[in-house]
Amino acid sequence: MSIKSKFISDDLKLGFNDVKIIPIKSKFESRKLINLQTEYTFPRSKIKWEGVPIIAANMDNVATFDMARALQNYSLCTAVTKFHTPEDWIDGILTGISLDYSFCTFGIESISSIETFFDSIHAKTNIIPKIVVFDVPNGYIKPFHKIVTQFRKKYPSTGIIAGNIVTAEGVQILADCGVDAVKIGIGSGSACSTSSVTGVGYPQLSAVLECAEAAQREKIFTVSDGGANTSGDISKAFIAGANFVMLGGMLAGHEEGNSETVLKDGKIYRKFYGMSSSEAMVKHYNEIAPYRASEGISTLIPDKGNVSNTIDEILGGIRSTCTYINSSNLIEMRNKGKFILVKTS
Ligand code: 5GP
């Protein structure tokens, strides 16, 4: 066995911090001239979508219906967690939740349980969710491919985002299942401990660059999920080829996440934990299955108040990136943005 055969390539794989975006001559002197509203036609379901392609991650204390209500005012999306019931969806829809911006999340369920879920919503509202997110930590497993394929057959005109994967092989497998978009990211989430628990992971920027190239060949979209800690990271993800960027930690700690507040040393904090953490497993399944290790962390983050302040900052930051690279919108930004490697240590 050669040492070389133990590595897939000689490339160094990069995270967001390993690069910076270089400025170019620009005609946009003000952020006011930048429009982040983006129009997409989903490649398989043919859904027409228009909005700011940022999605609140399907995590407790992040992707609630209150968050969805707040974010849709900015035409941002929410992957509402799978722990919401059809009744929650019915209430949400009847009280003005937009299905353009609120996505329904599933893991590995049976197709019949999904049909029942949708039928219950349809019976009371006459509609079903427009876009679904199939989310598992490891998007390389067969039962996941089976349910996504079955769903696509049953619901040909519903948008499907599925993941997570981090390689061109993963993109190809999910494209064959009929997805509109692959969700990219393993080991890079802010509440994720997969890389230390299992040793598995892929630096997020390289994962997006490589998967976006593969997705372009398959004519499907990409969602960068995990590892964005600043608006600059979000801009880097778009430039690397993401059609959407999903955010967990950046949208945690807000009132709209409805988490408990904790008073510590005179300061208000809010809970944030990974969906594979012991805390999440105990909360949703009352136990940690004996064969499972926690792959997520629990933490307290300082209360960030109303999410609108954070959104204004994020969108302002991305608009500012656009002014540096002569781009009036995200599509131009993706085409014109270029990186340089930087030394991070
Ligand atoms: P963030 O924006 O916080 O960096 O990343 C959000 C993403 O982290 C989520 O969308 C999801 O893919 C991932 N994630 C959430 N909880 C966990 C967890 O407990 N373990 C792992 N491995 N990943 C998680």
pLDDT tens-digit series, residues 178-198 = 999 999 999 999 999 999 999
What single letter denotes the amino acid at residue 35? N
Assigned domain for 204 exists: yes
User: Which residue minimizes the CA distance to atom 17 of ligand 1?
Assistant: 274
> Does residue 329 sit in helix, strand or coil?
coil
Distance from Cα 89 to the centre of ligand 1, integer Å: 23
Can you give the pLDDT at residue 29?
Answer: 86
The answer to whether 294 touches 197, Cβ cutoff 8 Å, is: yes
Assigned domain for 245 exists: yes
> Does residue 54 sit in helix, strand or coil?
strand
Find the mean pLDDT for residues 261-279. 94
> Does residue 84 sit in helix, strand or coil?
coil
Percent of the chain whose predicted confidence (pLDDT) is above 90:
94
Distance from Cα 299 to the centre of ligand 1, integer Å: 13
Assigned domain for 28 exists: no
**What's the chain's average pLDDT?**
96
Q: Residues 82-139: pLDDT tens digits? A: 999 999 999 999 999 999 999 999 999 999 999 999 999 999 999 999 999 999 999 9
Assess whether the C-beta atom of 247 lies below 6 angstroms from ligand 1: yes
Residue 231 pLDDT > 80, yes or no? yes
Ligand 1, pocket-test mutation among 62, 200, 275, most atoms within 8 A of CB: 275
Can you give the pLDDT at residue 343?
Answer: 85
Can you give the pLDDT at residue 345?
Answer: 62
Domain count, the chain: 1
Find the mean pLDDT for residues 149-170. 98
Residue 258 pLDDT > 80, yes or no? yes
- Residue 176 sits in a domain whose CATH number is 3.20.20.70
What single letter denotes the amino acid at residue 313? E
pTM here is 0.98
pLDDT-derived band at 289, boundaries 50, 70, 90: confident
| Rounded-to-integer distance, Cα 282 and Cα 343, Å | 41
Token pair, residue 95, equals: 């009280």
Angle at 320 between CA 306 and CA 27, to 5 degrees: 150
How does DSSP assign 265-295, residue by residue? TTEEEEEEE-TTSHHHHHHHHSS--TT----
The answer to whether 140 touches 170, Cβ cutoff 8 Å, is: yes
Distance from Cα 194 to the centre of ligand 1, integer Å: 9
Find the mean pLDDT for residues 152-167. 98
Can you give the pLDDT at residue 72?
Answer: 98
Assigned domain for 8 exists: no
pLDDT-derived band at 213, boundaries 50, 70, 90: very high
The DSSP secondary-structure symbol of 92 reads H
**What DSSP element (H or E) covers 147?**
helix 142-154
Percent of the chain whose predicted confidence (pLDDT) is above 70:
100
Neighbouring C-beta atoms of residue 29, cutoff 10 Å: 8
**If you search the block for the tokens 């975006």, which residue do you land on?**
21
| Rounded-to-integer distance, Cα 178 and Cα 151, Å | 9
Q: Which domain holds residue 245?
A: 35-258+307-340
> Does residue 5 sit in helix, strand or coil?
helix
Assess whether the C-beta atom of 59 lies below 6 angstroms from ligand 1: yes
Assigned domain for 18 exists: no
**What DSSP element (H or E) covers 185?**
none
User: Which residue minimizes the CA distance to atom 23 of ligand 1?
Assistant: 192
Assess whether the C-beta atom of 192 lies below 6 angstroms from ligand 1: yes
Assess whether the C-beta atom of 147 lies below 6 angstroms from ligand 1: no
Distance from Cα 124 to the centre of ligand 1, integer Å: 33
Assigned domain for 108 exists: yes
As a dihedral over the C-alpha atoms of residue 25, residue 212, residue 82, residue 301, rounded to 10 degrees, the angle is -40
User: Which residue minimizes the CA distance to atom 16 of ligand 1?
Assistant: 274
Assess whether the C-beta atom of 57 lies below 6 angstroms from ligand 1: yes
Distance from Cα 57 to the centre of ligand 1, integer Å: 8
More confident residue, 343 or 48: 48
- Report, as residue numbers or ranges, the catalytic residues: 192, 194
Residue 344 pLDDT > 80, yes or no? no
Assess whether the C-beta atom of 189 lies below 6 angstroms from ligand 1: yes
Assigned domain for 27 exists: no
Q: Residues 299-321: pLDDT tens digits? A: 999 999 999 999 999 999 999 99
Contacts of 59 (CB under 8 A, 6+ apart): 81, 191, 248, 252, 272, 274, 275
Assigned domain for 15 exists: no
| Rounded-to-integer distance, Cα 261 and Cα 259, Å | 6
User: Which residue minimizes the CA distance to atom 13 of ligand 1?
Assistant: 189
pLDDT-derived band at 340, boundaries 50, 70, 90: very high
Q: Residues 29-63: pLDDT tens digits? A: 888 889 999 999 999 999 999 999 999 999 999 99
